[in-house]
Structure 1
Amino acid sequence: MQISVIIPVYNAAKYVRQAVESALSQPEVAEIILIDDASSDNSFNICQELANESPIVKLFCHSDQKNHGASASRNVGIQKANCDYIAFLDADDFYLPGRFKLAGEQLTKYPEIDGVYEAVGTYFEDENSKNTWISIGRGDNKLTTINEIINPELLFETLLLNKEVGWFHANGLLVRKTIFNLTGYFDENLEFSEDIVMWFKMAAVGKLLPGSLEIPVAMRRVHSHNHVTRFHEKLVYYSNLPRWETLFIWGYKNGLESRKLALLFRQYADSLTNQSLGEKNDLIHKNFYNLRKFIVMMLLIIKYPK
């Protein structure tokens, strides 16, 4: 098995060397693709050094040399990847030893499976970062994982409807490159939640198996410059309206099976109307809610024809 590891880099001069070295230590990794997203610190120079030090480390930039965000950078990485398997790593995070052992075995054993998700641990850079993490409702749980075994056929609905089941992180995912023929690339119009949108797409049209769910295979670093800690209010907004609208339109345009499409639309309509309805549960308001859902669906279909 040969794996392409894609690492978007933006102002990660302090961390990117550890990220790359953690990927280099994995025997299955055949190439590491760095995409510098117009960093304003010393990231590009460090990436150049890393590329000069190892023939499997490759450095790219966007053609216009401008900042385009994590989605566009990951998409460049996918397009440049030469291996049949794709893994992601954020530039401020790092893999643990044996990162791909179990996932690789699963993908080799089950050729019909598109990917494997595994647990990711949390590394707090300092006490302030930990306190901020807790204060925004992330709790003190250091493991990002799915907390039960889920049939791949039920993964999409489970993630959508059961908030208690947990979640997985980009650092803990290994997929066949062919899955992007089904999902398309990362949505470059989303400022936040672009990764979660992609995982929903993968769960909707692909088959993902669990790997190591209790022992982490990688670590996400929490520090003062994380998107999660810096832009918490925006992330709350993006976890609702833009996420669900994007997913519904994607499903509609790509002929997603009607049951799954209906679930996506319900999520979008609920996020759009719940705030205006508040605690009103009488029949008039419920009828208004249902009418509004219908109008929203019609407007979306008109706005985004197939």
Structure 2
Amino acid sequence: MSKAPQTVPVSVIIPCYNSERTIRNALLSVVQQSQRPLEIICVDDCSKDRTIDVIRVFAEEFSEQSIRIERMPGNDGPGSARNLGWDMAKGDYVAFLDSDDFWHPQKLEFQLAVMREHGCFGSSHRRTPDLPGLFDETQAKAQEISISTGELLFRNRIVTSAVMLKNQPGFRFRSGMRYCEDLQLWFEILFAGNSFVYLDLPLSSLSGPEEAPNSLSSAVVKMEKSKQGIFRELRRKRRISVPQLFAASGFSLMKFVFRRMQGALSIKAY
């Protein structure tokens, strides 16, 4: 008989919206971890499909794992849904997973070890379209990089479905903010003097459909507007200098325009 996996003090929070096709794979990737989380909290953001039914069936099938279902009073976006689950979390750490993503089986094991070793407030890791098999001890010794506010202004390597944070009060996603609410929170954490470590190991992937072409996706435009708003807010609060504001804002706009041009050219070629 195989030994049951160790339970670790991590609360996994999964915001869900019309996720009936992907939520089972996301949940499977959590219950199949080499170290079992204390609990899984699924927060439904007023789905119109069978998302909740799929979760309920899954929870009955894997009754050995604590799986809770909470419902938002109204559709308010993934940030608010994560906050509701975060407020209810009992673990010493919280880990976020989007309902169309999934984890490598050793994700919690490796990431929790990094969190405990460095005592950092937050950590993230690399994502890949195709997750590798199980890592041995040699392969698991990946580069660990400290993320600074200066780097975050120009490159965001912190993906929400890869994040683990200490479960402490004082930080939450901005309520009602639907775009770049994660980036806004990472800045809050780092500018408060907390550390964030990036683990250069592929421990999560995407199972949902590919994003719409950049030239046509209205969400991409809204994301860029939200990012620019974050930069301006950081300047108003004197967390960045005027040169940093212009540099970060200009660099982001250049990438945005370049992506739209790439998208337009690919569609034209097609």
SS at match of 1:202: helix
**Inter-partner Cα distance in structure 2 for 1:60 and 1:220:** 23
Q: TM-score, normalised by structure 2?
A: 0.74
**Preserved contact between residue 117 and residue 168 of structure 1 (Cα < 8 Å):** yes
Going from structure 1 to structure 2, the CA distance change for 1:109 and 1:209 (only over 3 Å counts) comes to same
Alpha-carbon distance, 1:102 to partner: 2.1
SS in 1 for 2:107: coil
User: Is the Cα contact below 8 Å between 2:23 and 2:99 reproduced in 1?
Assistant: yes
SS at match of 1:106: helix
Which residue matches 2:16? 9
Residue aligned with 1:217, SS: strand
Deviation at 1:29, TM superposition (A): 0.9
Would you say the 8 A contact 2:10–2:37 is kept in 1?
yes
Task: State the one-letter code of the partner of 2:197.
Answer: L
- Which structure has the greater CA radius of gyration? 1
Residue 18 (structure 1) aligns with: 25
Q: Which runs of 5+ in 2 are unaligned?
A: 1-7, 131-142, 254-270
> Quick one: which of 240, 245, 250 aligns to 1:262?
240
SS in 1 for 2:240: helix
Residues 122/270 of structure 1: CA separation in 2 closer, same or farther (3 Å cut): closer
- 1:237 corresponds, among 222, 225, 233, to 225
Q: Report Cα offsets for 1:45-67 as digits up to 9, x if no partner.
A: 112223333341100012x3x21
Distance 2:208 2:165 in 1: 25
What CA distance in whole angstroms lies between the structure 1 residues aligned with 2:30 and 2:248?
A: 41
Does the CA contact (< 8 Å) of 1:247 and 1:264 recur in 2? no
Q: Deviations over 1:261-291 (max 9, x none)?
A: 134895289859x99xxxxxxxxxxxxxxxx
Give the aligned length. 228
Find the aligned partners of 2:186 and 2:242 in 1 and give their Cα distance: 14
- The structure where helix makes up a greater share of residues is 1
* Aligned AA (2:227): S
- Corresponding residue SS for 2:27: helix
Show the counterpart of 2:41.
Answer: 33
Q: CA RMSD in A?
A: 3.0
Greater strand content = 2
Contact 2:30 2:105 in 1 (8 A): no
Residue 205 of structure 2, aligned match among 216, 219, 222: 219
Measure how far apart 1:225 and its partner are: 6.7
User: Within the alignment, does 1:96 sit opposite 2:83 as a pair?
Assistant: no
Helix, strand or coil for the counterpart of 2:173? coil
Task: Determine which of 46, 49, 71 is the counterpart of 1:61.
Answer: 71
Structure 1, unaligned runs of 5 or more: 124-147, 253-257, 276-306
For 1:105 and 1:31, locate their aligned partners in 2 and report how far apart those are by CA, in whole Å: 18
| Cα deviations by residue, 1:239-271 (Å, 9 ceiling, x for unpaired) | 21x32245456xx4xxxxx5xx13489528985
Q: Which residue of 2 aligns with 1:42?
A: 50
Report the CA distance shift for 1:225/1:110 in structure 2 as closer, same or farther (over 3 A). closer
